[in-house]
Amino acid sequence: MHQWLGADLDQNLGMAKPQWDEFLKRLTPEQRLLLHLKGMQADRQAIAKQSDQEIAKTLKCTPKQVQKRWVKLLEMAWEFRNH
């Protein structure tokens, strides 16, 4: 999904560092956790990505809900990056 954004996780979803930092400030703790679990930390160090199944257990939701939350987060990033 993030391919249509023209962005990679290891490149702060296509944002420059100052823009990325501002974007992170606007996220909820759960959204920041989702970024972390998907393989991106706020300090820009990549970590091992977890499967949606593992993330769902951590967030206490279903894998489908993880996917929906991830798409929403990517859409938010796209909007933030382009406005």
Q: What is the mean pLDDT of residues 47-67?
A: 90
The per-residue pLDDT for range 3-30, each reduced to its tens digit, is: 444 444 557 888 888 999 999 999 999 9
What is d(CA 24, CA 75) in angstroms, rounded to the nearest whole number?
14
- Report whether 20 contacts 13 (CB < 8 A): yes
Q: Domain residue spans in the chain? A: 2-82
Reported pTM: 0.77
Q: Once rounded to an integer, what is the mean pLDDT over residues 51-70?
A: 95
